Amino acid sequence: MPHRTTPRQGYLAEADAYFAARFFSGEGWSGFTEPAKAARLWQAAVYIDRLQFVGKPTYDNQKRAWPRRPLYEIGYQSVLRVLGKAISRDEIPEAIKYAQAELADVILNEDGNVIQPAASTVRSETLGKWSIAYQQYVTPLLACPPALDYLYPFLVESSRIERE
């Protein structure tokens, strides 16, 4: 059984093919150099790894969120199922790869930093003489609806992001 510690990090050819196959491809994507694309894909993978997905990592010392296996296994017949589709222990679903490509193209700027959506707001609360102001966090996935649509079925229900 091969052990992969960084399964999504280098999907450069797959991301190029994904954008080439789209009706309207990401104009920005084709303008980046290969090192810039690889850096964006890596940064998108790091962001995706922070999400809570169904199942658990296939390998105990795995550094990335995918591939995954069921939380409870009975014999070798157990497989992770999402939307009724069986996902093998070493498989990274196409939807996860597509979400990574979308995030790499849409929400990462030239420096490879995540761009926060403009919808972030500052809130203030007061209780007696105490007052606190803070900026409400809005996930960058809201700035990238295609990535959110691809990832949504794989997220643990309690961590799903509300779509508007």
**In the chain, where the domains are located:** 12-156
pLDDT in tens, 103-122: 888 765 555 555 555 445 55
Lowest mean pLDDT among 13-17, 98-102, 128-132: 128-132
Q: Are 8 and 66 in contact (CB under 8 A)?
A: yes
Look up the pTM and report it: 0.73
* pLDDT confidence tier of residue 4, bands split at 50, 70 and 90: very low
Maximum average pLDDT range among 26-30, 41-45, 61-65: 61-65
User: Who contacts 97 (Cβ-Cβ below 8 Å, separation ≥6)?
Assistant: 8, 11, 14, 15, 18
Query: Would the pLDDT of 62 be above 60?
Result: yes
Mean pLDDT over each residue of the chain, to the nearest integer? 75
The pLDDT value recorded for residue 108 is 58
Burial class of residue 89 in the structure, from the number of CB atoms within 10 Å of its CB (0-12 exposed, 13-18 middle, 19+ buried): middle
